[in-house]
């Protein structure tokens, strides 16, 4: 693909996933970076306001704002999430493949299993018409680069990618060719080419940075034809020189001499010097045999990390080699790697050694990692870039070929290139364990280029040992330097013309390549390699439009019918994960980032809102949700969605708008990355949930396997029926026509990979052939001994199974009795998700993007028909004193029961077609109300989730005032996160939000008294102090407004309308100045409100409502998932100051002259007659009505008749309007006039 900027899709970014803005300043002359978050906010906002809304720049600015706020999740604490976390997925993969006893796969297992599968295949596979869907403008992680020295145009490059093998371009990145389809399943991390024999190349696999080795490698591969074909070196295939090949150097004069550094897994759960190992290996026969020439543990002991992760060779003398050692420094050799001596051993501070961030239990790296470079113009000049675990980036220099080293001192703000914003210090996230690279100017030994999250140019003064640093690339489109994707792994310098100081820089990063053809003055991000790593994807119903969540790159969406080179549009930052289109409405979408950071769109992704109820209780200060966000959605019941977390599962009946919780006990974990939930394709009443079935060492909890047959309202644990040699499920599959059939997928070495149940988990059968393995320990039916993530059962023939594994697609045509490699045109690549949508099978791969195939057998495919559970909408109080029960009968039922507070309220007769009903229930007693539906069909129950609401006896008023000084008035308000307090800095009590308020929430104070809107002087007046996060948009409905406060009203209790635009601390100069005075580097503020900041407001209710409307009013503070500030205080509330105040009928004598009173019926209880009295302050129209507790009308005692002022009495004889005697029970009687509505209750006893 040509290295040009693609027109982005015009999409508005959600505040839920746009996390706090961290420190950064943007200087027009690209001066050194300093921490100044306010500058960034102002500049991004101004540029965004001035951009043409339909332009590419506007879209780029919106992506910047998403990325900025997502990146701020980078934090040193393990409990805090980071957008685009490079370690979490690798750690998750390692855990599902490691047994409780520590055993796991042997090195090289993937290639062995591929070779075995190919040898067992019966005949030649039939190619299917697979279509690579892209995205063409988003590449995955690139790790290493080789530029062909024989190409005089310098445009022939080889690139090693983490999940997609080795790629080649001959035209500087305009087009690409995949050269290693057999390596797509491997993490290819380093490349080397012999200068004198460029047809000889070597590639190392296995990424050994951080704590684990994964994606797993398979030794070293060699090409004898300049990268056109590759073969594995048998001497490395089984881990003979360890599992992660970190770097390879080749003697430029002899392709048979090569030196390699490598290491095995280094788990934070083990001991140093125990299971991990590292070393330097040397071969003189082209890799046929090896000699270990350095064991760092023997040189440095085992108190330090000691992993050797880089080797560099003097470009003028291959005898001089240098290697970096984690938590130590540098070793060197003067005889081509035969022997080694210490060059530097003091790069790690004593406080760094054995002291990783997060106490060793986070997902980041554990080491003080060093990368070094040699100056081409002065080979005695060496530089070493050193990361530290707590926010420091150091640059060491040697001018004597490593005999001595000096730490250079930065005089330009000491930027930290391992941090997204250049911040240094203990509070800053550090990514250098993962992204650390360095190169020296080809003609000037005093100029160095370093890369971490961003790239910098460093100019060094050797006389003073001081340096100045300035960014040359930035991960934001509108940053202080050219945009290049974040996280840099390799900087390749390409000399062009020394006389004109011309050279190129090619950078390998997490989104492909960044290329500068002017020495770093500007860069272009180059994509086009089909190497994107997807966790999940979905297809719009009835359309050929796709979207999905990617490792490192967020969530993107395609246009119609994309091909491999088609550009996709960015819609959300962070890591992207599972996604869902609504099965019958393509305008509805769910997607998100890690730890259940889910957002919801109802307009096809043009805008979206946070799903705040998706959060689970935190565990040990960490998030209570899995890193890999799981979204289970059913196409048969497209509104039904499930997610998992620390307490169990959450269910949504309205496609993520609201949620109900079901706890899972006694065995459940819920926050591990592969904890999962899936809905049965055959029957949405059947739901499976899985978590690790052995003890989690961090929490001490043990998980389990659970199944529900009532739509996730209750679960039955079936863990005891699972064979004991498996521990953590890596995926789930269900059957298209058999509700009791499911497939639990596992990934431990040498153990069952697919366990099928046909009886809802009562028993399981191994379909992968490992319960009865062959003598060599292989599967008895051809299934590979690798990790498995997904499984499909084909609806036209349920004996046909497709299994997505980490080495590709395997198929069975006999119900799992035998398996073979598909060999049907889909690449050898890890398959994370398989799903059928319409007539297509959709495949989300970890390294080769999205693929789909349209199969003739799926022509006209529709989700299976099933009986759906009834739905009960939210229970809300209306201002008229009733709580309606809104019922959706979504299928044909024999009958439906309505239960309220555990008692049967009503039974609805049979319905032939789907229908809706509403039961109006007057609220006569304040308190919590619960309701649930139970429908019956053919003897089976179908239940709705329990809905709860808060009911209260309303007291209609035309006037209300409250200065919050009287504690008894506190009961006038309900909601969450507000309380009446007298706080320091204030002269009296006021209505206060929490200080500070929480993130990702709505804090609400609702006035429980309904207001009848007057025809004139219908004002709402109040004073407040607002210290909430300042946004960058001026439109409060735009997510980039961030936090805000707003006053709202409603006529029905469900649909709230703003009475005036929402606002934040920018709304008043007093607030704005105070906020700025305490503004922190993350964009928040520590300024506390006080009584000098009160600001008065007046709102005309008639601009929103009509005279005579009865409304509720509430105050709402919205907080996104970002930083927060002090909060909101409210005082001196006056509503319609000249209105008639209506008192509660039980308050005793009236306190004002004008008042209606509804008396207690006499006698009470009664049988058969009772008398009801009421008093009127003036002549008015009267309705006096009796209801039962289901809200059904029983008797109209007075029907809209005019009554004079004074006392009136009416008798009721216990009969309805048709003269029938009613049953014993509690009844409500309601008095309604033109000005008031009052309700009491009475009891009839027979």
Least confident interval from 353-357, 568-572, 614-618: 353-357
947 and 1095 assigned to the same domain: no
Rounded average pLDDT over 352-371: 66
Q: Is the peptide bond between 644 and the residue preceding it cis, with omega within 30 degrees of 0?
A: no
Rounded average pLDDT over 34-62: 52
979 and 1032 assigned to the same domain: yes
pLDDT value at residue 1146: 39
Contact status, residue 796 vs residue 858, Cβ threshold 8 Å: yes
Q: Which CATH number do you get for residue 655?
A: 2.130.10.10
Strands 850-854 and 329-333, by their bridges, are: unpaired
**CA distance linking residue 795 with residue 857, whole number of Å:** 9
893 and 838 assigned to the same domain: no
Assigned domain for 593 exists: yes
Assigned domain for 267 exists: yes
Tokens coding 1102: 């008639």
In tens, the pLDDT along 97-120 reads 888 887 888 888 998 999 999 999
C-alpha gyration radius of the chain? 34
Helix, strand, or coil here: 473? strand
216 and 281 assigned to the same domain: yes
The residue among 921, 951, 981 that closes a domain is: 951
Least confident interval from 833-842, 1153-1162, 1169-1178: 1153-1162
CA angle, 1101 then 1106 then 1107, to 5°: 90
Rounded average pLDDT over 810-835: 96
Question: What residues contact residue 972 under an 8 Å CB cut-off, 6+ apart?
Answer: 960, 962, 1007, 1008, 1009
Rounded average pLDDT over 991-995: 97
Contact status, residue 83 vs residue 593, Cβ threshold 8 Å: yes
Query: Mean of the per-residue pLDDT values for the chain?
Result: 88
Contact status, residue 742 vs residue 680, Cβ threshold 8 Å: yes
906 and 1007 assigned to the same domain: no
Assigned domain for 822 exists: yes
Q: Which CATH number do you get for residue 944?
A: 2.70.50.50
Maximum mean pLDDT: which of 360-364, 495-499, 722-726: 495-499
Rounded average pLDDT over 210-229: 81
- Beta partners for 1098? 1021
Helix, strand, or coil here: 528? coil
Tokens coding 633: 């959605």
1167 and 1227 assigned to the same domain: yes
What percentage of residues in the chain have a pLDDT greater than 90? Answer: 68
Question: What residues contact residue 697 under an 8 Å CB cut-off, 6+ apart?
Answer: 269
In tens, the pLDDT along 300-336 reads 998 888 999 999 999 999 999 999 999 999 999 999 9
pLDDT at 519 over 50: yes
In tens, the pLDDT along 1078-1135 reads 988 677 899 999 999 999 999 999 999 999 999 999 999 999 877 899 999 999 999 9
- Closest to 856 measured CA to CA, from 129, 131, 133: 129
Q: Which CATH number do you get for residue 1170?
A: 2.60.40.4070
Q: Is the peptide bond between 905 and the residue preceding it cis, with omega within 30 degrees of 0?
A: no
- Beta partners for 820? 811
Rounded average pLDDT over 521-538: 95
In tens, the pLDDT along 1213-1241 reads 999 999 999 988 888 888 988 877 788 88
261 and 304 assigned to the same domain: yes
Q: Which residue has the tokens 């395997």?
A: 810
* Element containing residue 92 per DSSP (H, E): helix 88-96
The domain of 885 spans 871-951
836 and 692 assigned to the same domain: yes
Contact status, residue 852 vs residue 842, Cβ threshold 8 Å: yes
* Element containing residue 94 per DSSP (H, E): helix 88-96
1129 and 1167 assigned to the same domain: no
Q: Which CATH number do you get for residue 965?
A: 2.60.120.260
Contact status, residue 790 vs residue 834, Cβ threshold 8 Å: yes
pLDDT at 293 over 50: yes
Query: Three-class SS string for 357-386?
Result: HHHHCCCCCCCCCEEEEECCCCCCCEEEEE
* pLDDT band per the 50, 70, 90 thresholds, residue 183: confident
- Closest to 230 measured CA to CA, from 195, 282, 178: 178
Assigned domain for 386 exists: no
In tens, the pLDDT along 853-881 reads 999 999 999 999 999 999 999 899 999 98
Q: Which position has the higher pLDDT, 551 or 590?
A: 590
Instruction: Tell me whether residue 809 is exposed, middle or buried, using C-beta atoms within 10 angstroms of its C-beta: 0 to 12, 13 to 18, 19 or more.
Output: buried
Rounded average pLDDT over 873-897: 94
Contact status, residue 209 vs residue 433, Cβ threshold 8 Å: yes
What percentage of residues in the chain have a pLDDT greater than 70? Answer: 88
Q: Quickly count helices (H) and strands (E) in the chain.
A: 6, 84
Q: Which position has the higher pLDDT, 1 or 481?
A: 481
**CA distance linking residue 68 with residue 641, whole number of Å:** 30
Assigned domain for 800 exists: yes
Q: Which position has the higher pLDDT, 357 or 464?
A: 464
The residue among 951, 986, 1011 that closes a domain is: 951
Assigned domain for 803 exists: yes
Q: Which position has the higher pLDDT, 289 or 87?
A: 289
Assigned domain for 639 exists: yes
pLDDT value at residue 419: 87
* pLDDT band per the 50, 70, 90 thresholds, residue 593: confident
pLDDT value at residue 58: 59
Rounded average pLDDT over 392-408: 96
Contact status, residue 42 vs residue 638, Cβ threshold 8 Å: no
CA angle, 410 then 414 then 418, to 5°: 120
Please report which residue ranges of 7-76 form alpha helices under DSSP H: 37-50, 56-71
* pLDDT band per the 50, 70, 90 thresholds, residue 1246: confident
pLDDT value at residue 1242: 86
187 and 150 assigned to the same domain: yes
The residue among 828, 858, 888 that closes a domain is: 858
Residues 653-661: contacts with CB under 8 Å, at least 24 apart: 653/871, 653/944, 653/945, 654/871, 655/582, 655/588, 655/590, 655/600, 656/590, 656/598, 656/600, 656/611, 656/614, 657/600, 658/613, 658/874, 659/611, 659/613, 659/614, 660/945, 660/946, 660/947
- Closest to 561 measured CA to CA, from 829, 850, 846, 863: 850
pLDDT at 214 over 90: no
Contact status, residue 1213 vs residue 1168, Cβ threshold 8 Å: yes
In tens, the pLDDT along 29-46 reads 222 223 333 344 445 545
* pLDDT band per the 50, 70, 90 thresholds, residue 4: very low
906 and 975 assigned to the same domain: no
CA distances from 1124 to 643, 687, 973, 1031 (A): 27, 37, 24, 11
pLDDT value at residue 1037: 87
CA distances from 654 to 600, 633, 641, 651, 820 (A): 11, 11, 8, 9, 41
The count of structural domains within the chain is 5
pLDDT value at residue 86: 58
Least confident interval from 109-123, 221-235, 1115-1129, 1138-1152: 1138-1152
854 and 876 assigned to the same domain: no
* pLDDT band per the 50, 70, 90 thresholds, residue 227: very high
Assigned domain for 1020 exists: yes
Q: What distance lies between CA 113 and its chain's CA centroid?
A: 33
Q: Which position has the higher pLDDT, 404 or 29?
A: 404
Rounded average pLDDT over 519-524: 97
Write the DSSP string, 292-313.
EEE-HHHHH-SSS---EEEEEE
Contact status, residue 548 vs residue 564, Cβ threshold 8 Å: no
Strands 882-889 and 915-922, by their bridges, are: antiparallel
pLDDT at 25 over 90: no
């Amino acid at each position: 693909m040509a290295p040009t900027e693609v027109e982005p899709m015009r999409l508005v970014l959600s505040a839920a996933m746009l996390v706090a803005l961290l420190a950064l300043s943007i200087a027009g002359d690209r001066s050194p970076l300093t921490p100044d978050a306010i500058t960034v906010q102002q500049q991004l906002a101004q540029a965004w306001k001035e951009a043409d809304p339909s332009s590419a720049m506007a879209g780029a600015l919106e992506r910047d704002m998403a990325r900025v706020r997502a990146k701020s999740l980078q934090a040193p604490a393990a409990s805090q999430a980071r957008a685009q976390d490079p370690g979490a997925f690798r750690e998750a993969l390692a855990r599902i493949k490691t047994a409780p006893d520590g055993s796991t796969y042997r090195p090289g297992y993937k290639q062995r299993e591929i070779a075995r599968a190919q040898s067992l295949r019966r005949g030649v596979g039939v190619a299917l018409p697979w279509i690579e869907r892209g995205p063409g403008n988003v590449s995955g992680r690139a790790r290493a680069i080789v530029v062909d020295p024989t190409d005089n145009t310098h445009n022939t490059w080889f690139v090693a990618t983490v999940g997609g093998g080795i790629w080649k371009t001959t035209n500087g990145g305009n087009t690409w060719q995949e050269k290693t389809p057999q390596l797509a399943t491997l993490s290819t991390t380093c490349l080397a080419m012999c200068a004198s024999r460029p047809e000889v190349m070597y590639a190392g696999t296995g990424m050994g940075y951080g704590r684990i080795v994964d994606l797993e490698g398979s030794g070293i591969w060699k090409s004898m034809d300049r990268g056109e074909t590759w073969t594995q070196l048998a001497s490395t295939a089984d881990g003979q020189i360890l599992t992660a090949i970190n770097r390879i150097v080749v003697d430029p004069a002899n392709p048979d001499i090569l030196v390699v550094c490598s290491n095995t897994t280094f788990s934070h759960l083990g001991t140093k010097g125990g299971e991990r190992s590292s070393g330097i290996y040397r071969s003189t026969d082209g890799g046929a045999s090896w000699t270990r020439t350095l064991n760092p543990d023997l040189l440095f002991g085992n108190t330090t990390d000691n992993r050797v992760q880089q080797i560099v060779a003097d470009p003028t003398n291959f005898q001089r080699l240098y290697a970096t050692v984690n938590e130590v420094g540098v070793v060197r050799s003067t005889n081509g790697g035969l022997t080694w001596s210490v060059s530097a051993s003091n790069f790690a501070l004593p406080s760094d050694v054995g002291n990783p961030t997060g106490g060793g239990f986070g997902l980041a790296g554990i080491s003080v990692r060093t990368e070094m470079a040699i100056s081409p113009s002065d080979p005695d000049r060496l530089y070493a870039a050193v990361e530290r675990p707590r926010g420091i980036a150091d640059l060491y220099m040697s001018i004597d070929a490593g005999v001595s080293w000096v730490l250079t001192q930065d005089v330009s703000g000491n930027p930290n290139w391992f941090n997204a914003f250049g911040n240094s210090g203990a509070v800053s996230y550090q990514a250098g364990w993962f992204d650390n690279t360095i190169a020296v100017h080809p003609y000037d030994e005093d100029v160095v280029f370093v890369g971490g999250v961003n790239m910098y140019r460093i100019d060094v003064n050797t006389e003073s040992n001081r340096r100045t640093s300035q960014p040359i690339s930035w991960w934001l489109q509108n940053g202080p330097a050219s945009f290049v994707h974040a996280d840099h792994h390799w900087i390749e310098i390409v000399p062009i013309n020394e006389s004109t100081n011309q050279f190129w820089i090619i950078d390998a990063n997490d989104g492909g390549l960044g290329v500068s053809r002017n020495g770093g003055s500007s860069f272009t991000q180059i994509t086009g390699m089909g190497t994107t790593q997807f966790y999940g994807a979905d297809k719009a119903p009835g359309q050929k439009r796709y979207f999905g969540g990617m490792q490192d790159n967020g969530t993107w969406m395609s246009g119609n019918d994309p091909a491999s080179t088609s550009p996709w549009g960015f819609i959300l930052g962070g890591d992207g994960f599972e996604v869902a289109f609504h099965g019958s409405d393509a305008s509805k979408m769910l997607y998100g980032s890690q730890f259940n950071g889910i957002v919801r769109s109802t307009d096809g992704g043009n805008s979206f809102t946070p799903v705040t109820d998706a959060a689970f209780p935190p565990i040990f200060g960490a998030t209570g949700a899995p890193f890999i966000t799981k979204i289970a959605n059913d196409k048969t019941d497209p509104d039904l969605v499930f997610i998992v977390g620390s307490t169990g599962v959450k269910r949504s009946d309205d496609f993520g708008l609201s949620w109900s919780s079901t706890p899972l006990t006694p065995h459940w974990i819920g926050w591990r990355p592969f904890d999962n939930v899936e809905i049965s394709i055959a029957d949405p009443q059947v739901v499976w949930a899985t978590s690790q079935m052995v003890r989690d060492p961090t929490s001490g909890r043990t998980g389990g396997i659970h199944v529900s047959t009532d739509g996730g309202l209750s679960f039955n644990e079936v863990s005891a029926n699972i064979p004991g040699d498996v521990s953590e499920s890596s995926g789930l599959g269900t059957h298209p026509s058999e509700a009791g059939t499911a497939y639990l997928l596992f990934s431990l070495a040498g153990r069952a990979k697919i366990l099928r149940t046909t009886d809802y988990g009562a028993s399981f059968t191994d379909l992968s052939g490992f319960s009865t393995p062959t003598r060599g320990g292989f599967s008895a039916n051809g299934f590979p001994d690798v990790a498995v993530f997904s499984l499909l059962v084909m609806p036209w023939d349920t004996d046909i199974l497709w299994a997505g594994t980490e080495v590709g697609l395997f198929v069975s045509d006999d119900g799992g009795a035998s398996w073979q490699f598909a060999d049907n045109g889909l690449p050898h690549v890890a398959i994370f998700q398989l799903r059928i949508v319409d007539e297509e099978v959709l495949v989300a791969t970890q390294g080769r993007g999205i693929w789909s195939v349209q199969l003739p057998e799926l022509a006209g495919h529709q989700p299976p028909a099933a009986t759906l559970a009834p739905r009960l909408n939210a229970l809300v109080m209306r201002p008229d004193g009733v709580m309606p029960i809104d019922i959706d009968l979504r299928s044909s039922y024999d009958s439906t029961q309505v239960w309220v507070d555990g008692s049967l309220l009503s039974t609805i007769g049979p319905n032939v077609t789907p229908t809706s009903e509403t039961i109006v229930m007057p609220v006569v007693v304040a308190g919590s109300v619960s309701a649930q539906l139970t429908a019956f069909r053919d003897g089976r129950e179908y239940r709705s989730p329990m809905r709860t609401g808060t009911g209260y006896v309303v007291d209609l008023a035309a006037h209300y005032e409250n200065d919050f000084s009287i504690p008894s008035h506190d009961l006038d308000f309900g909601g969450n996160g507000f309380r009446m307090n007298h706080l320091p800095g204030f002269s009296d009590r006021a209505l206060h939000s929490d200080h500070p308020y929480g993130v990702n929430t709505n804090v609400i104070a609702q006035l429980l008294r309904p207001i009848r809107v007057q025809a004139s002087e219908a004002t709402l007046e109040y004073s407040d102090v607002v210290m909430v996060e300042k946004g960058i948009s001026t439109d409060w409905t735009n997510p980039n407004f961030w936090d805000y406060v707003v006053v709202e009203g409603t006529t029905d209790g469900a649909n709230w309308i703003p009475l005036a635009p929402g606002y934040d601390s920018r709304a008043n100069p007093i607030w704005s100045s105070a906020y700025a005075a305490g503004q922190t580097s993350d964009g928040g503020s520590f300024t506390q409100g006080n009584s000098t900041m009160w600001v008065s407001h007046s709102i005309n209710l008639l601009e929103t409502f009509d005279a005579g409307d009865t409304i509720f009013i509430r105050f709402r503070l919205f907080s996104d998932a970002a930083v927060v500030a002090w909060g909101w205080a409210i005082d001196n509330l006056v509503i319609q100051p000249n209105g008639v105040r209506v008192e509660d009928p039980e308050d005793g004598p009236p306190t004002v002259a004008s008042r209606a009173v509804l008396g207690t019926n006499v006698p009470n209880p009664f049988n058969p007659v009772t008398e009801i009295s009421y008093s009127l302050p003036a002549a008015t129209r009267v309705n006096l009505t009796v209801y039962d507790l289901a809200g059904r009308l029983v008797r109209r005692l007075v029907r809209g008749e005019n009554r004079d002022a004074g006392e009136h009495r009416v008798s009721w004889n216990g009969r309805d309007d048709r003269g029938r005697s009613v049953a014993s029970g509690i009844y409500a009687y309601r008095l309604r006039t033109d000005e008031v509505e009052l309700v009491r209750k009475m009891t009839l006893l027979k």
